[in-house]
Structure 1
Amino acid sequence: MEKLPLLSGREVVKVFERLGWEVARQRGSHIILVKGKHIATLSVPDHREVARGTLRSLIARAGITVEEFLSAMK
């Protein structure tokens, strides 16, 4: 299993934007992302560090693998 880096909420949002997700709105400390006809929405906490478990959950909810996420970071 690939180890995920510690990223800020804004950095996580940038990676998901590279993967085709768009910022729909921000409510409080959470940034909501949507993607076309995708049923799921992603709620990314706008914190200094997003916990690795939370990030792994967001990646799974987006329907991608950790490897795809890490390659989009580069």
Structure 2
Amino acid sequence: MPRRYSSRELTRLAESQGWRFSRQRGSHMIFVKWRERNHVSIPASEREVRVGTVANIKRQMRLSNEEFNRIVDEVL
């Protein structure tokens, strides 16, 4: 079964890849990367983030599973 991540861990991972906190809208934190038109939306909750949501965050960050796992090992 895939590992679950907290919002705090995903935030740390996004910031390590150059994503910067832009704003919070409701229960989601929005991160942007300079000179890119897309954004990453991370839930701002105390609970673990669901596996499907983590997959969507990976897609928004344009990371493959291998890249994501390598970054997780380095950062977390």
TM-score w.r.t. structure 2 length?
Answer: 0.83
More strand by percentage:
2
| Residue 16 (str. 1) matches residue 7 (str. 2) | no
Q: 1:4 to 1:39 in 2, by over 3 A?
A: farther
Give the number of equivalent residue pairs. 72
Q: Residue in 1 aligned with 2:42?
A: 44
- Residues 28-57 of structure 1: CA distance to partner in whole angstroms, max 9, x if unpaired? 321110001111111100121111111101
Report 1:1-74 matches (<5 A): 4-47=2-45, 48-74=47-73
Please, what is the CA RMSD of the aligned residues? Answer: 1.4
The question of whether the paired residues in 2 share the 8 Å contact of 1:8 and 1:46 is answered with no
The question of whether the paired residues in 2 share the 8 Å contact of 1:15 and 1:69 is answered with no
Percent of residue pairs identical: 35
Once superposed, which parts of structure 1, at least 4 consecutive aligned residues long, lie more than 2 Å away?
none
Unmatched runs of 5 consecutive residues or more in structure 1: none
* Alpha-carbon shift at residue 27 of structure 1 (Å): 2.5
The question of whether the paired residues in 2 share the 8 Å contact of 1:23 and 1:31 is answered with yes
Letter in 1 for 2:22: A
